[in-house]
Amino acid sequence: MLSPARPYWDAALETQSRADWDALKLQLLQKHLLHAYHHSPFYRASFDAAGVHPEIVRSLDDIRRFPFINKSTLRERQLAVPPFGDLVAVPERDIVYISASSGSTGVPTASPFTAQDFDDWIDYEARQFWSSGLRPEDRYAHSLNFSLFVGGPCVLGAQKLGALSIHAGTVPSERLLAILRQFQVTAIWTTPSYAWYLGETAIKEGIDLRKDLSVRRIFVAGEPGGSIPETRQRIEALWGASVYDYYGLSDIFGSCAGMCEEKDGLHWAEDHILVEVLHPDTNEPVSEGGRGELVLTTLKKTARPMIRFRTGDIVSFTSAPCACGRTSIRLQGIHGRLDDMLIIKGVNVFPSDVEAIARRDHDLTGEYRLIVERENHLDRLTVEVERSAATTATDAELAGRFAHHLKAVTGVSAVVNILPPDTLPRATHKAKRVEDRRSGVWG
């Protein structure tokens, strides 16, 4: 058993200098691009068409000469060459595992792994869990879906580091609470909105989250909330536990980045995935701290290399030193998805900006809904939030305060409606909090 006092899973790797990270990434990138070119018919054709070859890569910046792919590429190639598409760069006999995207829009895409890819991934998950403070003496309940979902096998990372791992899956809340109570579970993983919902459900059932349960760590992923300090702090206050945000992508890994115990951004798996953050219109890299689209290139995953995959996620990052001593770059925020971004009166507004304001004001429950309409050719934003108290006496003041903060943060004016507590629908998993009624008006 590893000593719980050991600060890092792999100290030499995790604390190396930025120059050493870059040298490692360059070496991995050159090898990975060659593998893609020589073993994937898609990449050979696409690199040839773009007039690029892996041997031109002399620095990490040279990745910018290679063509992009996106979710549509994966779907199209999978339909053209079923069942896995011709981005695959190994014979099928070498594939031991596939995950598939949820398929909420269009055809689900399958992400294949070789045995080595799978082992690399689980080792990374163990490293990530270790950085978030999970230790061999923990009892960990994995409350993510196992059905073809890439988040399922992440539980093996907890098991690898020696934690007692309970493969709970997405059971009904009452059942999950019973598991947490019976086994006095110390750590769980779920979505931020479900962590919130589960805590509220427990309280309604008369469970004292601090006395009756032992949950001290909550890992969250799947929604921007975990990186919004106000949301995280309210879940922490509800549970008396520490909340760690993780970021994953079904087409790559269960988690690609996660928070260490400092919770100052999400450390990126730089030895597995090369990160670019690009302005969505110009494709130029944004400066550190600026918001841009996350574009990813795998560095090791041989079954299906992903070269310059446009995620559609809007993020910001930093390479400033972290107090934990790890030197990997950190995602500072996952601000939303390009397709979640609302353009209201010509201004970009992310639901996560509104969420931060709703969660910061302790006279509100933190639930919210955005309604966007168009009236006389003008956009109109209505924000619905709930007050915590039963009385209507302070509604006007609450609404004024919210509208003022919203205007300060986003530059957009809104009509703010204060609703009684428990009016807005509670989300169980991925929350739907935006209603854009403009679509259809202009065809």
- Residue whose CB is less far from Zn ion, 32 or 326: 326
- Residue whose CB is less far from Zn ion, 221 or 324: 324
- Residue 423 sits at φ, ψ, to 5 deg, of -90, -45
* Closest CB 262 distance from Zn ion, rounded Å: 5
* Closest CB 330 distance from Zn ion, rounded Å: 7
* Closest CB 260 distance from Zn ion, rounded Å: 3
* Cα distance between residue 91 and residue 250, in whole Å: 21
* Closest CB 178 distance from Zn ion, rounded Å: 35
* Cα distance between residue 85 and residue 79, in whole Å: 7
Preceding peptide of 420 cis, ω within 30°: no
Beta-bridge partner residues of 381: 372
- Residue whose CB is less far from Zn ion, 56 or 320: 320
Q: Whose CA is closest to 224, among 242, 241, 247, 244?
A: 247
How many CB atoms neighbour CB 263 within 10 A?
18
- Residue whose CB is less far from Zn ion, 50 or 320: 320
* Closest CB 267 distance from Zn ion, rounded Å: 6
- Residue whose CB is less far from Zn ion, 303 or 322: 322
- Residue whose CB is less far from Zn ion, 306 or 315: 315
* Closest CB 372 distance from Zn ion, rounded Å: 37
By residue count, the chain amounts to 443
* Cα distance between residue 32 and residue 340, in whole Å: 32
- Residue whose CB is less far from Zn ion, 77 or 326: 326
Instruction: Please name the residue that has the structure tokens 């950085």.
Output: 131
* Closest CB 8 distance from Zn ion, rounded Å: 10
* Mode of pairing for the β-strands spanning 342-344 and 364-375: unpaired
Q: Whose CA is closest to 402, among 393, 391, 392, 413?
A: 413
- Residue whose CB is less far from Zn ion, 218 or 260: 260
* Closest CB 266 distance from Zn ion, rounded Å: 9
* Closest CB 314 distance from Zn ion, rounded Å: 22
- Residue whose CB is less far from Zn ion, 249 or 260: 260
* Closest CB 19 distance from Zn ion, rounded Å: 19
With beta carbons less than 8 A apart as the criterion, state whether 231 and 355 touch: yes
- Residue whose CB is less far from Zn ion, 8 or 68: 8
Beta-bridge partner residues of 364: 387
Residue numbers of the site for Zn ion (CB under 5 A)? 260, 262, 322, 324, 326
* Closest CB 324 distance from Zn ion, rounded Å: 3
In sign, the C-alpha dihedral spanning 281, 285, 287, 293 is positive
- Residue whose CB is less far from Zn ion, 125 or 355: 125
